[in-house]
């Protein structure tokens, strides 16, 4: 775990889960019912659409590939010692470009999935608590585990700290809230993707300030 990851706190996790939920909803409702962050869903739908002979399988395969490339790009940037805040500035800049360029649906899907891959590979630990921000299934499983262990733990088995429960609960809620925010933003804003771009910038600035 890097120093930045140890210093990243609850609100960083919430902001990034908001971004993922927001962009996922954009992909599903506006870009042909394809997820941009939820690769579990895309993988299941890829298999189903291939068996059915549905051409949408190309979109599922492309977004999975773009997400994987984004995650790989993050790993390469980390190996090059690019600071974590800079990764989020890059992600935000890419989202701004996508919003301004307003590309074709297929290109937008791939571009947003690439950005989600960048985010997913950038950071997975907040205040020492492991918490992916581009997937919510494992978060919900871990949230229930923390809840049960806090409620029924034996004296010889330490209960998880309250911070773990709060981080997991907030992340799950934020992911759903991001989806709702996307629907509201599409009705109110000409370029709704500027919302996640702004959140990336806020997270990056927050990480820079925590460096000291």
With beta carbons less than 8 A apart as the criterion, state whether 38 and 24 touch.
yes
Please state, in angstroms and rounded to a whole number, the distance separating the CA atoms of residues 97 and 54. Answer: 31
Spans of all domains in the chain? 3-211
pLDDT at residue number 211: 65
Please state, in angstroms and rounded to a whole number, the distance separating the CA atoms of residues 178 and 173. Answer: 9
Count of other CB atoms within 10 angstroms of residue 191: 14
- 122-155 pLDDT, tens digit per residue, is 988 888 888 899 988 888 998 898 888 877 766 5
DSSP 35: -
pLDDT at residue number 129: 85
Give the DSSP per-residue string, 111-149. HHHHHHHHHHHH--EETTEE--SS--HHHHHHHHHHHHH
195: Cβ contacts below 8 Å, ≥ 6 apart:
22, 181, 182, 185, 189
pLDDT at residue number 150: 76
Nearest to 127 by CA among 18, 19, 16, 3: 3
With beta carbons less than 8 A apart as the criterion, state whether 13 and 128 touch.
no
Q: What is the pLDDT along the chain (212 residues), one digit of tens a residue?
A: 566 666 678 899 999 999 999 999 999 999 999 999 999 999 999 999 999 999 999 999 999 999 999 999 999 999 999 999 999 999 999 999 999 999 999 999 999 999 999 999 998 888 888 889 998 888 899 889 888 887 776 655 677 777 888 889 999 999 999 999 999 999 999 999 999 999 999 999 998 887 65
Length of the chain: 212
- 179-206 pLDDT, tens digit per residue, is 999 999 999 999 999 999 999 999 999 9
Please state, in angstroms and rounded to a whole number, the distance separating the CA atoms of residues 187 and 152. Answer: 45
Does 1.20.1250 match the CATH number of domain 3-211? yes
């Amino acid at each position: 775990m890097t120093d930045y990851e140890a210093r990243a706190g609850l609100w960083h996790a919430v902001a990034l889960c908001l971004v993922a939920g927001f962009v996922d909803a954009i992909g599903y409702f506006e870009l042909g019912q394809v997820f941009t962050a939820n690769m579990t869903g895309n993988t299941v739908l890829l298999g189903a659409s291939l068996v059915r002979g549905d051409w949408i399988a190309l979109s599922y395969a492309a977004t999975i590939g773009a997400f994987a490339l984004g995650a790989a790009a993050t790993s390469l940037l980390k190996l090059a010692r690019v600071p974590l805040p800079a990764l989020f500035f890059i992600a935000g800049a890419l989202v701004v470009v996508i919003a301004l360029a307003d590309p074709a649906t297929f290109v937008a899907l791939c571009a947003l999935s690439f950005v989600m891959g960048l985010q997913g590979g950038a950071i997975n630990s907040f205040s020492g608590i492991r918490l992916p921000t581009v997937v919510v299934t494992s978060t919900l499983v871990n949230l229930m585990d923390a809840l049960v262990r806090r409620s029924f733990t034996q004296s010889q088995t330490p209960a998880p700290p309250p911070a773990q429960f709060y981080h997991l609960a907030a992340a799950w809620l934020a992911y759903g809230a991001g989806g709702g925010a996307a629907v509201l933003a599409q009705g109110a804003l000409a370029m709704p993707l500027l919302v996640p771009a702004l959140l990336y910038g806020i997270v990056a600035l927050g990480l820079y300030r925590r460096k000291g």
